Amino acid sequence: MISVSGATRVTGVIGDPVTHSLSPALHNAAFAALGIDWVSVPFPVSAGRGAQAVEAMRTVGLAGLSVTTPHKDAVAQAADEVSDAVAALGAANCLVASADGRVRAENTDGDGFLGALLEDADTTVQEKTVAVLGAGGAARAISRACADAGAAGVLIVNRTAQRAEVCAGLAGSVGTVARHADIAGADIVVNATTVGMAPDSAMPCDPALLHRGQIVVDIVYNPSETVWLAAARAAGIRSYNGGSMLVHQAAVAIAHWTGRTAPVDAMRSALRAHLS
């Protein structure tokens, strides 16, 4: 049982809807493992009220907020300061209060993806070609982070061509708009679309385009194994789901808020407990 006093530092997650969010469970597991008097709670904030949530954060003295759909763009605009990633992406998933009451916006998805890849597959994207399926918020953060981390190529495969162009642009000189047929040439293939997310059982690309020389990551974490990921695994391909990225992007938020290294193992156990 979490005990709350006047000294407890309060964080949370805002979204619409937010009741399904696993973030409070991950944050509270981290605070408990660190032995610090902090708590995280879900705050339902209606669409269109993201900027007011930033103001409320200043008013009531929240230490930090995670931010989910549909507020990621609005909070980036309402914050006092933004990180380089937020400036490039125009979207934030983490707000950090500083001692003087100012609010800084961060985007932890890119670092979360790279941290998960390192932990799960013991690899980096350096000198690798990464095919990113999708061009939404997560795909943009991942594409930019891969380019920054030294990927040799970032291939964007997306249903809507204009969004693919924008996403490829975020990867700078290594970003290219690509076709499904190009997926076979990538070292790492990432599903960053919503395709396959429960209750959908569709696949983001034909698994016949995947092969054993690749690493396949589906950043969807519910279900824990999408039909696409199962097909990759059945073909003997190293494949990983989005649970690890979820933990690592939250771990980066914990580090921003507390200044401490996040206890990733405790957070991973909390995720397992909540998904089982």
Binding piece for ligand NAP, criterion CB under 6 A, among 97-105, 180-188, 189-197, 209-217: 189-197
Lookup result for tokens 């076979």:
184
* Closer of 38 and 228 to ligand NAP (Cβ): 228
Name the catalytic one among 71, 72, 128, 140. Answer: 72
Q: Does the protein bind ligand NAP through residue 112 (CB under 6 A)?
A: yes
Binding piece for ligand NAP, criterion CB under 6 A, among 1-9, 36-44, 149-157, 215-223: 215-223
**Distance between CA atoms of 188 and 190, rounded to whole angstroms?**
7
**Distance between CA atoms of 193 and 159, rounded to whole angstroms?**
10
Binding piece for ligand NAP, criterion CB under 6 A, among 19-27, 39-47, 118-126, 158-166: 158-166
Q: Does the protein bind ligand NAP through residue 245 (CB under 6 A)?
A: yes
Restricting to residues 53-92, which ones interact with ligand NAP according to CB under 6 A? none
- Helices 23-34, 264-275: crossing angle, 10 deg rounding: 140
Count of beta carbons in the 10 Å neighbourhood of residue 64? 25
* Closer of 40 and 193 to ligand NAP (Cβ): 193
**Distance between CA atoms of 97 and 64, rounded to whole angstroms?**
6
Q: Enumerate the β-bridge partners of residue 218.
A: 191
Q: Does the protein bind ligand NAP through residue 108 (CB under 6 A)?
A: no
Q: Does the protein bind ligand NAP through residue 238 (CB under 6 A)?
A: no
- Tell me the site size for ligand NAP, rule CB under 6 A: 24
**Distance between CA atoms of 267 and 127, rounded to whole angstroms?**
30
* Closer of 221 and 228 to ligand NAP (Cβ): 221
Q: Active site includes 72?
A: yes
Which of 8, 52, 176, 194 lies at the binding interface for ligand NAP (CB under 6 A)?
194
* Closer of 37 and 255 to ligand NAP (Cβ): 255
DSSP 26-60: HHHHHHHHHT-SEEEEEEE--TT-HHHHHHHHHHH
Q: Does the protein bind ligand NAP through residue 49 (CB under 6 A)?
A: no
Whether 271 contacts 243, CB under 8 Å: yes
Strands 38-44, 81-82: pairing kind: unpaired
- Tell me which residue of 275, 250, 245, 222 sits closest to 121, measured CA to CA: 245
List residues with catalytic annotation.
72
- Contacts with ligand NAP by CB under 6 A lie at 109, 112, 134-139, 158-160, 163, 192-195, 197, 219-221, 242, 245-246, 249
